[in-house]
Amino acid sequence: MPPLKAENLPIFPPEVLAVSTNVQLFERAQQSIPGGVNSPVRAFRAVGGTPRFIARAEGPYMWDAEGQRYIDYIGSWGPMILGHGHPAVLEAVLAAAREGFSFGAPTEREVELAEAIIAQVPSIEQVRLVSSGTEAGMTAIRLARGATGRSKIIKFEGCYHGHADALLVKAGSGLATFGHPTSAGVPPEVVQHTLVLEYNNLEQIEAAFQAQGHEIACVMIEPIAGNMNFVRASVPFVKRIRELCDQYGALFVFDEVMTGFRVALGSAQSVYARALPGFAPDISVFGKVIGGGMPLAAFGSSRKIMQNLAPLGGVYQAGTLSGNPVATACGLATLREITKPGFFEGLSAKTQTLRQGLDEAAKAAGVAWSSDHEGGMFGFFFTDSLPQNYATVMATDKERFNRFFHAMLDRGVYLAPALYEAGFVSAAHSEADIAATVAAARESFASL
């Protein structure tokens, strides 16, 4: 391979270098990137049309390559709880970058971030920092299996825990049968120990434990399933899973990659603890907000369970960029801001105002509609009642959602480009932003 010198670099014609429209960029991207995107939902396949190539972002706004401004309700799929480019976060990141991008050795800042997470989540005594939600979820399952000495796991249809092989599974044909791969490249034998049940179905979880309870290492769940748009696990459902795990010696894993520090300061588990005094999961998985927009995630548990991890125990996990000094600076600065008094009360009030405005606009237009929110996370469906599982989510009016998405996008409001993705409000969204969003929704509903 020739050395990387100027004369060896590819030469692009002027018409390529001058490309600036979203259509042109997407066409160019598809030549060098599969599907033109580095994560599938960005391709707009679910809603149709051309994805927007974002040039910059500030506060609650993003601007695409053509200079169009959007009110952003994706927030990088959740991390940007403070909005884009928050001064305190930006200052922390720049300072950390000047000190060094990566060391491959421990730093004080990763200890501080671990301590900050533990301080807000009573169920965990130790955490391990990693680089992605997929990595955190994958290792949480490995830890559960190592700690229990068991192989079988339970997950729920519609919950997404990253793209690890054992978790890319759809439900089997029978109640207690194991799942089938949902991705090419995942051999059936890799998912033979994964049991997929229906979300919020008490009868199925009871039957699964009765049939195979002493073989189950863990039950993994999104407490608020943000990959079904926004579907809550019912309190009785969570309560019964906790009881069954205790009865059979399985571990209860809360995947809070999306909900962690987003729906409440203590994460979703604190919301359930208000309804179920003393409730706590055995293992918690975090991402998104704790990285503030940088690639960072974590999983945590009791000291006893975490001692199973290398270098202390036999459960192996490692990562070159785990605890990255720039990412931890970003995450730590973000957590410092959101722990300030009144932060979540203000964020929740903004989300409530948005939701109420959308509800009223839909009602005035006579559109079948339901919505829900918690903290800075929200979701809506084109149906009269809130879905409780994946099947009912997928039975909602997809085509109407797609039309609504594009109508809002045309009016400068950027929602998730798929009916099964949640939305996010940031502290940077103003009353005027929310009012403009509701006004756009009124016009959009009228055009459906």
> Catalytic annotation on 160?
yes
Predicted local confidence at residue 179, as pLDDT: 61
Q: What is the pLDDT of residue 18?
A: 54
Are residues 285 and 375 located together in one domain of the fold? Answer: no
| 302, 321, 338 - which closes a domain | 338
From 61, 70, 73, 160, active-site residue: 160
Residue 1 covered by a domain: no
pTM for the whole structure: 0.93
d(CA 70, CA 58): 11
Q: Are 72 and 91 members of one domain?
A: no
Among 291, 310, 338, give the residue marking a domain's end.
338
Same domain, 236 and 376: no
Query: What are 113's two structure tokens?
Result: 């971030």
User: Does residue 233 share a domain with residue 195?
Assistant: yes
pLDDT at 372: 98
Co-location of 48 and 185 in the same domain = no
Residue 395: pLDDT over 80: yes
Question: Is 255 a known active-site residue?
Answer: yes
* Alpha carbon of residue 394 to chain centroid: 19
Examine the fold and report which residue of 305, 338, 371 is the final residue of a domain before the chain moves on.
338
Across 363-386, average pLDDT: 97
% residues pLDDT > 90 (the chain) = 88
Residue 52 lies inside a defined structural domain of this protein: yes
Considering the domain boundaries, does residue 210 fall inside one?
yes
Confidence check: pLDDT of 197 > 50: yes
* pLDDT above 80 for 165: yes
Catalytic residue among 72, 155, 199, 288: 288
Q: Please check whether residues 129 and 196 belong to one and the same domain.
A: yes
Residues 316 and 394 in one domain: no
Query: Domain check: are 68 and 113 in the same one?
Result: no
20 vs 72, more confident: 72
Q: What is the CATH number of the domain that holds 170?
A: 3.40.640.10
- Considering 64, 152, 155, 255, which one is annotated as catalytic? 255
Q: Is residue 152 part of a domain?
A: yes
Higher pLDDT, residue 180 or 144: 144
Q: Around Cβ 271, how many Cβ atoms within 10 Å? A: 20
Site of tokens 């049940």: 197
The mean pLDDT of 405-423, rounded to a whole number, is: 96
155 is catalytic: no
Inside any domain, residue 199: yes
- Closest of 220, 215, 214 to residue 155, by C-alpha: 220
CATH number at residue 56: 3.90.1150.10
Instruction: Give yes or no for residue 91 having a pLDDT over 60.
Output: yes
> pLDDT tens digit string along 223-276?
999 999 999 999 999 999 999 999 999 999 999 999 999 999 999 999 999 999
Predicted confidence band of residue 8 (pLDDT cuts 50, 70, 90): low
Q: Is the pLDDT of residue 51 over 50?
A: yes
Same domain, 123 and 255: yes
Residue 181 lies in a domain: yes
69 and 184, same domain (yes or no): no
How many domains would you assign to the chain? 2
**300 and 366 inside one domain:** no
197 in the same domain as 179: yes
- The predicted pLDDT at position 168 comes to 85
Quick check: 9 pLDDT over 90? no
Rounded Cα gap, residues 349 and 66, in angstroms: 33
User: What is the SS3 string spanning the chain?
Assistant: CCCCCHHHCCCCCHHHHCCCCHHHHHHHHHHHCHHHCCCHHHHCCCCCCCCCCEEEEEECEEEECCCCEEEECCCCCCCCCCCECCHHHHHHHHHHHHHCCCCCCCCHHHHHHHHHHHHHCCCCCEEEEECCHHHHHHHHHHHHHHHHCCCEEEEECCCCCCCCHHHCEECCCCCCCECEECCCCCCHHHHCCEEEECCCCHHHHHHHHHHHHHHEEEEEECCEECCCCCEECCHHHHHHHHHHHHHHCCEEEEEECCCCCCCCCCHHHHHHHHHCCCCCCCEEEECHHHHECECCEEEEECHHHHCCECCCCCECCCCCCCCCHHHHHHHHHHHHHHCCCCHHHHHHHHHHHHHHHHHHHHHHHCCCCEEEEECCEEEEECCCCCCCCHHHHHCCCHHHHHHHHHHHHHCCEECCCCCCCCEECCCCCCHHHHHHHHHHHHHHHHHC
Range of the domain at 69: 6-85+342-447
pLDDT in tens, 283-322: 999 999 999 999 999 999 999 999 999 999 999 999 999 9
